[in-house]
Structure 1
Amino acid sequence: MPIIQAAVAVTKNAPLEIRELRLDDPRPDEVLVRMRAVGVCHTDATVLESPEFPPPFPAVLGHEGAGVVEAVGADVDHVKPGDKVVLSFGSCGRCRKCVQRHPAYCDDFNSYNFFGVRLDGSPTLFDGDEPLSGHFFAQSSFATHALGHRSNVVKLDEDVDLDIAGPLGCGLLTGASSVRNILKPDEGDSFVVYGAGGVGYGALMMAKVMGCDPIIAVDINDQRLELAEELGATHTINGKDAELADRIREITEANQGVDCAIDTTGLSTICKVGVETLRRGGRLGLIASHRQDGVGLDVAAIPLGAYVYGAVMGDAIPGEMVPLLVDLHKKGQFPVDRLIEFYDLEDINQAFADSAAGSTIKPVIRFPR
């Protein structure tokens, strides 16, 4: 068993502790990856803060890993030692949804990603002789090494910069894929993104790639709105505007409303605006877990022919979507590097704090070479 360094969440709402742990050897369907970088995602923070959210603690989180393969199990044939890889979400590959090419809706999605152990109940991480929760998103990559599953290990070209590749496995993938795979805008369609964070910027940049116009970004942070303009937004609106819905409609063709929209905020008030500002036949994707803040979704308010989608991971196939995003980055069309600030593993708690404060859009933990 390899000896690794990892950031351990000992209990809810407490600072992570850097500890020396033992990592199990790879099973036939697993891949041992030496981490180069891992993004800090809002989902990690949600797990740390929410008392009802799995896995059991202590736990090692982290699910936007990028690194180099060190060993592969006997049943893994798409990567080999020395390959650069990104780790995304895990799936079984066998259930009806997986076979239909919708792995984000895998029947065993929660078991592969949230329960802290392998599907057979065996642990992957040990503190001394005591097991602790690992296998988070089939990786637990807040560590110098991680075990990936064959379903979530995506091979990259040799020239890819691993420092910026990790967030392509979850947050940015979710935003971009929700636009490309779920909303599927036509060139010239109007687009709104509610929330200018990692997921929102991913959605915005993909909307630009797909030729949406106008592209409207809504957030309460004016600095993030400025960056949204640099990344492709044609219009920005502060979400505190009391006339938000009217402002959005005024930008659209003949005040008819929006063709496509993504909500990343989780606020039911914003969801309400999102529905109210759809045009007939429009599409709204709900990415975040929506809070119970007293505002219910009025089904009768959904325009004729419109759709409201609950989106998970953008309905992405990681092995196809991650290379696409890497290619767009190489072409200058998906500048993820504009969002990233780097931290050492020892500074991971500061990374979480800066993300919560809004001063860093996408913290990335970078490991020594």
Structure 2
Amino acid sequence: MLNELSYREIYAAVTECKGADFKIQKLKIREPIGDEVLVKIVATGMCHTDLIVRDQYYPVPLPAVLGHEGAGIIEAIGPQVKSLSVGDHVVLSYGYCGSCTHCLSGNLTYCEEAFVRNFGGKDQNGCNAICTHDHVGVNDHFFSQSSFATYAISRENNAVKVCKDVPLEILGPLGCGIQTGAGTVINALNVRPGSSFLTWGAGAVGLSAVLAAKVCGATTIIAVDIVESRLALAKEMGATHVVNSKEQNPIEVIKQITNGGVNFALESTGRPEVISNGVEALGTLGKIAVVGAPRLGVKAEFDVNNLLLNGKTIMGVIEGNCNSKWFIPQLVELYKQGRFPFDKLIKFYSLDDINQAALDSERGITLKPVIRIA
């Protein structure tokens, strides 16, 4: 089948093996079929998930083209596409089938085929869109896009049309990291006006949550981290209190600030001891959403009676429980109104500097690297 399709040349950052640097390679990508769209990528955010997949926390087959916060312009569409056109500006988000029980009930992020469509290395039919010049398939369709490349194949349902009066180069992170932080606050936790909110971790996800908590009207907003520059930015973006957990006992400080415990919390570090602290720092009927992804099999501990007697809730949240088609345009509108300045988190890199972007992200130097492609 590979040889029967029409292809165009692309450049892509390939992850060849566990822990390896990204390698820029000249490859080919086929034209869209069915409900697919071909997107010329303008810029792509780099997310924690790209790095943990590179390091094989999740069993994504390698070599692969990763990247899952793409933004670009549609250059071609498949014959079944109805709602998108050539020339549309789009943000690419996660993949889902649209027809399973969870999708039909509106819980798209918990699609029964989510792992296969986002981490399987091929499309839903077991095929690759990207190949070498010898027509050897390369693992792709990462989050139904693989956008560390000059072009990406996506599907109509996870390509989100956005307005053309906001620069595309900043919008890619809305497809995953930013919508995870903001969506968890707005959709999953349902943070209320006048309430208290806490983020464990002041990276891109945590600070997006701070912005969203402010939009929701939380009046006590706390950020916990160990990097002073991140805590300073948290204050700038709306945190009323910051805690350096290397220098202070965060649970004691949080309970003092909130008079007993916080109403809502988000945990984005993926560290089990932080999850345990997060449960401890909740007030009565408090809720904590866990969004940070550790290695498979990592376990956290908590006091069952502390959970039970205080009516606390621990929830796992994927992609902020967002329907991206609806939620991403809302975040763009908030940005246009000056109420959601997520661009303050971004630092740009060229495709050739993608490994430096990864290193800066891991060292905490850069909150949200964005790789300029076009």
TM-score in terms of structure 2 length: 0.95
Residue 357 of structure 2 is matched in structure 1 by: 351
The 1:295–1:157 alpha-carbon spacing in structure 2 relative to 1, beyond 3 Å, is closer
Residue 281 of structure 1 is matched in structure 2 by: 285
3-state DSSP class of the match of 1:131?
coil
| Matching residue within 297, 304, 307 for 1:299 | 304
In 1, distance between residues paired with 2:137 and 2:76?
Answer: 22
Residue 276 of structure 2 is matched in structure 1 by: 272
| Matching residue within 29, 36, 55 for 1:49 | 55
Residue 68 of structure 2 is matched in structure 1 by: 63
Amino acid at match of 1:236: V
Residue 259 of structure 1 is matched in structure 2 by: 263
The 1:138–1:49 alpha-carbon spacing in structure 2 relative to 1, beyond 3 Å, is same
3-state DSSP class of the match of 2:95?
coil
3-state DSSP class of the match of 2:64?
coil
Give the CA deviation at 1:293: 7.3
Give the CA deviation at 1:149: 1.1
The 1:256–1:66 alpha-carbon spacing in structure 2 relative to 1, beyond 3 Å, is same
3-state DSSP class of the match of 2:137?
strand
In 1, distance between residues paired with 2:336 and 2:248?
Answer: 40
In 1, distance between residues paired with 2:113 and 2:266?
Answer: 26
Residue 123 of structure 1 is matched in structure 2 by: 128
3-state DSSP class of the match of 2:171?
helix
Residue 138 of structure 2 is matched in structure 1 by: 132
In 1, distance between residues paired with 2:250 and 2:108?
Answer: 36
Check the 8 A contact 1:85/1:154 in 2, yes or no: yes
In 1, distance between residues paired with 2:8 and 2:294?
Answer: 40
Residue 3 of structure 2 is matched in structure 1 by: none
Give the CA deviation at 1:256: 2.3
Give the CA deviation at 1:295: 5.1
Give the CA deviation at 1:62: 0.1
Residue 112 of structure 1 is matched in structure 2 by: 117
The 5 A counterparts of 1:207-286 are 207-252=213-258, 255-286=259-290
Give the CA deviation at 1:290: 4.4
Q: Which runs of 5+ in 1 are unaligned?
A: none
3-state DSSP class of the match of 2:365?
coil
The 5 A counterparts of 1:319-330 are 319-330=325-336
Deviates more, 1:240-249 or 1:220-229: 240-249
In 1, distance between residues paired with 2:127 and 2:273?
Answer: 42
3-state DSSP class of the match of 1:226?
helix
**Residue 98 (structure 2) pairs with residue 93 (structure 1):** yes
The 1:223–1:192 alpha-carbon spacing in structure 2 relative to 1, beyond 3 Å, is same
Check the 8 A contact 1:216/1:235 in 2, yes or no: yes
Amino acid at match of 1:272: S
3-state DSSP class of the match of 1:2?
strand
In 2, distance between residues paired with 1:146 and 1:160?
Answer: 21
Matched residue pairs, number?
A: 365
Amino acid at match of 1:310: G
3-state DSSP class of the match of 2:71?
strand
Q: Which runs of 5+ in 2 are unaligned?
A: 1-6
Which deviations, in whole Å up to 9, do the C-alpha atoms of 1:144-179 show, x marking residues without a partner? 000011221000112121011000000000010001
Amino acid at match of 2:119: F
Q: How large is the Cα RMSD of the aligned pairs?
A: 1.3
In 2, distance between residues paired with 1:363 and 1:233?
Answer: 22
Residue 164 of structure 1 is matched in structure 2 by: 170
The 5 A counterparts of 1:27-38 are 27-38=33-44
3-state DSSP class of the match of 1:168?
helix
3-state DSSP class of the match of 1:91?
coil
In 1, distance between residues paired with 2:50 and 2:304?
Answer: 32
Residue 369 of structure 2 is matched in structure 1 by: 363
In 1, distance between residues paired with 2:305 and 2:205?
Answer: 29
Give the CA deviation at 1:74: 1.5
Deviates more, 1:220-229 or 1:306-315: 306-315
In 2, distance between residues paired with 1:23 and 1:294?
Answer: 40
Give the CA deviation at 1:307: 1.1
Amino acid at match of 1:116: G
TM-score in terms of structure 1 length: 0.96
In 1, distance between residues paired with 2:49 and 2:298?
Answer: 20
The 5 A counterparts of 1:184-203 are 184-203=190-209
3-state DSSP class of the match of 1:77?
coil
